Structure formats: C-alpha cells, structure tokens
Amino acid sequence: MRRLRPSASALLGLALAALGCGGGGRPSDTGSPDAAASGGGPPAADGGVREVASLVDMLPDCDIHHRGLIVDLGTDETTGRFGWRIAAPENLTTVEHDGATWARIYDRSLSLQVLVAESTPVFVAARVVGRDSKSAAVLVDGVDVGVLSFGKGDIKVASTHATQVPLSAGLHLLELRFRGREKAGSDPFAEVDWVRLGVPGDNEGTYGAATLGDVRNPSAVLGGEPHRAIALRAPASVRCGLRIPEGGRVRVAVGMQGDGKAEAEIAVRVDGESRSVLQEVEVEGGAQAEWSNLEVPLSDYGGRVVSVELAAVKTTGTGRLMFGDPALVVPAVQQPVTPLARIVVVVVLDGIERGDLPPYAGHETPNLAALVELGRTAVVFDEHRGDATLVATAMASLLSGVSPLRHGLLDALARLPAAQPLLAQLAGDASVRAAFYSGVPSTFAPFGFARGWDPYVAFPPHGERLATAPLDDAAAWITQAAKGASGPLLVVVHARGGHPPWEVTPKEAATLPPADYAGPLNPRTAAQVLWRVRAKKGLLEEKDRERLRALYHFGIADQDRALGRLVTALEEAGLWDSTMFVVTGDVASGRRTLFADGAELDEELLALPLYVHFPGGVHGPRRVDRPTEVYDVTRTIVGALGIKPGGDALGRDLASVALSPEQDVQMPRVALLEDRYSARWGDFALTGRWQERPRLCHLPVDPGCSFDWSRTRPLVVQTLFRRLVRYYARHHQGALARAPLEIDADTDATLKVWGAHD
C-alpha cells in the first residue's frame, strides 16, 4: 500500500521536462551545421537510462543523520573527514569486537570535519572504550563544549550537555582531546565506535546509532524482488553530495520491511537555499508489502552541486523504511567514438596563453593564419584544463595517460620513472610507429621522455636549428614514413610556442614596439634576463613588458607558419583526411609569470587551448563548452590508433565529449604539484596545500579567486574535498617512486639558455 505526493517543485520539473525546457544545463554547441544535434548523441534504442552514481556504493561519502550527524569510525565513512588531512592519521588503527568496528586512537586528539545544515543547539556523544584515558574534552572550532567521561575497559555511550548557543550552519571542526598519560609503547588513549553531533530532543534513552553497517542492507526483499537498500528508522536521513548532470534524476524503490508504516521524502539541499522536498511517499509494511518505484527529475539543479537527501520522516511499528538501489541516472545515449586514423599528430605548444589564440581571443589574429583555419574547421574545446603548471609533469601525464600521483613526476628536480610506460611503448606493442620531436628541454632525454620513440629528436635552444625545426622535421618524417608503411603513425611535437629565445633579426626587432627600445630583453638572451627578474622577485618596467609582448607574439606567429607548413604537407601527400590532428598547450605560464615553470595552480595558468581535427573532418566545425582535461587527449589518441589503453589510464574519448550530454560529472579535474592541488568541479575550484584549510573559488562571479567562498559554500567544500581525497587514495596507491633528475653538463647549459636557472 502506498500513496505518492509529488511536491510542487517536482510537478513543475515534470512540466518543464515535457516542454523540453529542463533548466540548469549548458547552452548548445554552436558553429556547426548540425548544431541542433550537438547537445548529445541519439537516445538509446530502448529509451532507457544509465546509472552514473549509486547512492548505496557511495554511502561512505554521504552524511548519515539520526537525531543528528553520525560519524562511524573504523569504516570508510571517515575518508576525507579527518580535518583537512588527505589520509587518516598514522596513529589510528581499526579493530573489531563486540559486533562493531572501532577506531583505536593513539594520538592525544582526534579531529573530524562535520557539516551542520541548519543552525541549532548541539551536544556531542560517542560510544567509547577507555584505554589509557578516562575522559576527553570536546571542542568545536576550538571552543570547549564539554567533557566525555567513559572510564577504562568498559563500553560506554558518553555525552556532553547541549550547547546554550546554537551552532551555526556550515562546516565545523569537532575535536576530541583525550586525557591521560602519553608514553612510548603505551596503550591507545581510547577506542571509539562512533561520534554523534546530536540535536537535543526526546527519547534519548532509546537511541540507537545509525552506523554504516546498520544503514546498509545488501539484500532487502519485498514482494519477491530484492534490492540493495539504505535502511532507516525515523527521524533519519542520508544526504549525499552530488553534481547533477544534464537530464539527471533520482531513481529509487521505496518500501517498508517489517511491520508498520512510514513516510518518506526525497529532498535536495543547496548552499544558501531552503531544503526543497521533491517527492513524498507513504508505504506500509507487512506480508503484502511491495516496492514503490520512483523517478524524481532534478532538472532545476543541472550542473549544480547539491545534497540529495533520502529521509525517513516518520516510521511506526518495528519495521524499517527501505530505499532500494537509489541512484542518480541519466537518459542512455549512444556514445560516439573517434574514427580510426592512419596518422595521429599531436602538437603541444609551450608557454602560450589560450586568450592570445583564435578563436579564444575573441578578436582578429591575422598573424596566426594556421590556427585561424584550424579554429574555423575543427572542433575547439573551450574548457580544456591542464593537470599541472610544471611542464615536465604536464607532458608526463599527456604521454602516459595517468595522474601525476601515479607517474610520480611532481617537482622540478624529478624525472619520469623508467617504469612508467609512455604512448611510444603502447604504440610499439600495437605495431604503430611513433616519433617524438621536442624543442622544449623539459622533455629531453634527461627528463625521461626519450624512451621507445622511433625516432626521438631533441632541438636545444642554443643549437643551430631554428625554433620551427621540430614541426618541419615532423612534416618531412610523416610524408616519408607514410610512403613505406601501411600501418598507423603517431607523431608528437613539443614545440617552443611562445617561449624564448625568439628568432628575431635586428632588423625585425627594430620594427617592434616600443620604438627605440634599448632595454635588457634581447631576443636571444631574454630567457636568462627573465629568470633573474623572477629570482629577485623584481618587476619589469612597462617598456620592457611592451617589448616582451611583441617578442612573444612574434614567436607564436613564427610557430604558426610552421604549423601551417605541416598541415600543407599532409594535404599535399593526400594524408589530411585520414589524420587526427591535435593542437594543445602544456602550461599556460607565458607572459603573466615571465615563463616561470611550476607556478601556482591558478585557473588562468591551467586553461589550455585544444583543437582537434578528427579524421575526415567529422564533427567539425564545432565549439564545445564541456570540461575536458589532458587525459581525454591521451584516451582519444589511443582510440584513434586502435590501441588498447593501459589499465591505469584516465580520460574519455573527445568525440563522445563533443557530441554527448555532459553526464559523467562526479569527479573533479585535479591539478597537482608536489605539495599543492587544485580541484575544479563545475563552477568551483578548491585550491590549497595538503593538510591546510583550502580556498574555494566561485569562478563565474570571481574568476580571479580574490575571495574565499568556503564559508558560504560548505556543502560544495565538503563534497569536493571528499572527492579529492578519494582521487588521491585511488591514484596514489601503486604510485611509482620519485626518480631524481640527473643533470649533465650539456643539459645544464641547455636549461640555462632556456631560462631555468642562472
């Protein structure tokens, strides 16, 4: 027996969906004759749905509430909750006894991040076994709120009194400071089963904590139909932070297991807004109980970070309310893939800024004819993001398809470990010839990038060859190799881009602004001058900056002409239509940071260009505003060559990204350096250093990140930080050991000319 009561907002959402007006999604792509279809591939033939997030699987990342928030220690539910720690404290172990999993605590204090949705008085309770400690002081945000007294050896639920002043809504740091002796080899201070940030109410004497094991029911059967379920006794809820994709909706079966009746709600919480109930349902237990199958649209929340709440508002009898296989689902669509290519060319421009290139610049760029033409005919990705501001790190990720946490190149004094396979090895295993032409010292042999290529050629900045030589030699190799081979070819060019030194003759320099310039920026030695300015934290005078801009643009124009010659060579050889041609950047340092390597992980420095000419020119011209990252390029390369990606490889096929709805949005795009991170998720970026409180940037309204939004967007911060911790745990496991960089005399000279040191 059941009664469904859709809320007003749910009815409105259904009406909008029927009219094709679902809100919150990104605008359709433009610039294509088939722009009307660019929002996604055709629906699946059966009109079905695809699950993008199971709330049962992600239950450890959700908040469980039963008369307050419960943190179940000794389980995966603590991941991302130990303050701002990226991992659990070292002096915390897990033990099992008395039917529960306990955290055995050897440190004097335990800190937990807790999210309070509404301002309320609170108390703190915990199920504890005292060992070397008999009590613990309780602090919230450093303020003493009481003491937990528990004695030694016995299990006890200890509690503080309720606070007199309500605790404000938002993220708070809850700390237990254990009292007792601290000595080498001593017992732990205590063992803790769970901690509760309680809300004062009645019936505390009958309270039973809703721990992870209690809430998760792996096989709930009603009417002969089994479901993995979330089981609750009122008043209780499970709140899961999610970013809602285009067309997203909650699919769930609701029922009562055992005797009694229940009232359930499906609701959404958003930072700064009132709780919104989307669906209400009443169910009845007993021998005839069945599941009520629901699909609740979330069209009002497309692209936003929300907390989806499954709530048991009221239960009677001895039964429990079941939410069977709750999931975030989207309409199933056919996922297009990149066509197979005979030739894949990847050109990576160093030291360029996306805003200087067409069509990103938004104005005429007559000196960049090749990029203008590519932007006019190919697929241009407007939201491409790098994963580092260190050139070697960014290139290691592109050429391996794995996170810096896995390949281990995270600082300027490291090299790519020999054990990390590159695209060259994958290509060789698949009988694909692969060549690498580098004009950027960060990918020269000492940094670990020369392995497996046929050929690998480096062009030092103080050598006799021009800055355009990598592009010109790549063109010659492709046309020659294609004549004698029927198999696919892969060519990677790491081009100088806008980085000094620049090949500008004295006559040409005399025509550049400012007039009659007599400053220190000589085209051949500018890199060393800029290094000295950075080292002394100095500033360039305006006339020097004007000359820097002029030289930079001159260098890019020179590279663009070589890029055009490469395309022309492919066209004249009859190879262009069977080529996938990619142009992107490594690090957007450029003029803003005076070509510093390893600068802060600012969004402006992580924003990269990405142009893709697919084989046969399919999918273009098109501009795509969906987020992409470096691993998507790698995945598309191996797909176009018919190569199976490595087991650790990340990324999505760029054809699918360009043509399908933005559905897989649960993981942020993460950029890393040795001790820093930046996690971009939709409109937000969480930046910081490991173990320190991060900053939250709200980029549409504050693109320069001048304000820390973490206090006003606590749900976003908590959800995004937990995603980051999961990302770290996944990719750090099995990580390669750091390989130190070994610099010989030739490499040292090269890096000096490049402006890497004095």
Which pLDDT tens digit goes with each residue over 166-181? Answer: 999 999 999 999 998 7
The stretch 341-361 carries a mean pLDDT of 97
Contact present, 685 and 697 (Cβ < 8 Å): yes
Tell whether the model's pLDDT for residue 255 goes beyond 90. Answer: yes
376 and 302 fall within a common domain? no
3-state secondary structure 379-432: EEEEEEECCCCCHHHHHHHHHHCCCHHHHCCCCCCEECCCCCCCHHHHHHHCCC
Q: What tens digit of pLDDT does each residue of 559-597 get?
A: 999 999 999 999 999 999 999 999 999 999 778 899 999
Average pLDDT over residues 90-108: 93
- Is 751 domain-assigned? no
Residue indicated by tokens 């990576």? 348
414 & 475 share domain = yes
Judge contact between 84 and 693, C-beta under 8 A.
yes
Domain of residue 20 covers: 2-60+212-331
In a domain, 532, yes or no: yes
How many structural domains does the chain have?
A: 3
Return d(Cα 147, Cα 158) in angstroms, integer.
Answer: 9
Which secondary structure element, helix H or strand E, spans residue 97, and what is its range?
strand 92-97
Asked if 660 and 417 touch (Cβ cutoff 8 Å), the reply is no
Q: How much is the pLDDT for 645? A: 87
Which pair of tokens denotes residue 105?
């605590």
**369-377 vs 542-572: helix axis angle to the nearest 10?**
60
For residue 747, is it within any domain? no
Burial grade of 504 (CB within 10 A; 0-12, 13-18, 19 or more): buried
Task: Classify residue 467: in a domain, yes or no.
Answer: yes
Looking at the fold, whether 202 and 216 belong to one and the same domain comes out as: no
One domain for residues 613 and 547: yes
Q: What is the mean pLDDT of residues 720-747?
A: 94
List the single range of 16-30, 175-189, 526-540 with lowest mean pLDDT. 16-30
CATH number of the domain enclosing 142: 2.60.120.260
Q: CA-to-CA distance for 543 and 548, rounded, in angstroms?
A: 9
pLDDT classification of 206: cutoffs 50, 70, 90 = low
How far, in Å, CA of 322 to CA of 216, rounded? 10
Tell me: do 20 and 119 sit in the same domain: no
- Same-domain status, 123 and 235: no
Burial call 259-282: b when 16+ CB within 10 Å, e when fewer: ebbbbbbbbbbbbeeeebbbbbbb
Question: What CATH number is attached to the domain comprising 606?
Answer: 3.40.720.10
Of 309, 331, 353, the residue at which a domain comes to its end is: 331
Same domain, 201 and 324: no
Distance (Å, rounded) from C-alpha 631 to C-alpha 610? 12
Residues 6 or more apart in contact with residue 18 via CB below 8 angstroms: none
The full DSSP string for 585-619 is ES---TTTTTT-SS----HHHHB--EEEE-GGGTT
489 and 571 within one domain = yes
C-beta separation of 56 from 692 below 8 A: no
* 682-708 per-position pLDDT tens digit: 999 999 998 899 999 999 999 989 999
Q: What percent of the chain has pLDDT over 70?
A: 92
* 750 located within any domain: no
Same domain, 260 and 114: no
Q: Where are the beta strands (DSSP E) in 332-378?
A: 343-349
Q: Give the global pTM.
A: 0.91
- Residue 642 lies inside a defined structural domain of this protein: yes
Domain shared by 323 and 428, yes or no: no
Name residue 167's amino acid: L
In a domain, 279, yes or no: yes
Check residue 8 and give its pLDDT: 40
pLDDT for residue 11: 36
Q: Are residues 315 and 193 in the same domain?
A: no
The pLDDT value recorded for residue 591 is 80
- What length is written for the chain? 758
Taking only the tens place, the pLDDT of each residue in 322-337 is 999 999 999 998 889 9
Residue with tokens 């959404």: 268
Residue after which a domain boundary falls, among 302, 331, 360: 331
Closest CA to 253 of 310, 207, 301, 300: 310
Residue 297, beta-bridge partner list: 249
pLDDT tens, 631-675? 999 999 999 999 988 778 899 999 999 999 888 899 999 999 998
CATH number of the domain where residue 316 is located = 2.60.120
Identify whether residues 374 and 456 lie together within a single domain: yes
Q: Per the domain annotation, does 440 fall within a domain? A: yes
Tokens of 317: 């009898």
Contact yes or no for 84/692 (Cβ under 8 A): yes
Would you call 392 helix, strand, or coil by DSSP? helix
Task: Decide which of 191, 206, 221 is a domain's last residue.
Answer: 206
Q: How far is residue 196 CA from its own chain's centroid?
A: 31
> How far is it, in rounded angstroms, from Cα 435 to Cα 347?
12
Q: Rounded to an integer, what distance in angstroms lies between the CA atom of residue 186 and that of residue 77?
A: 27
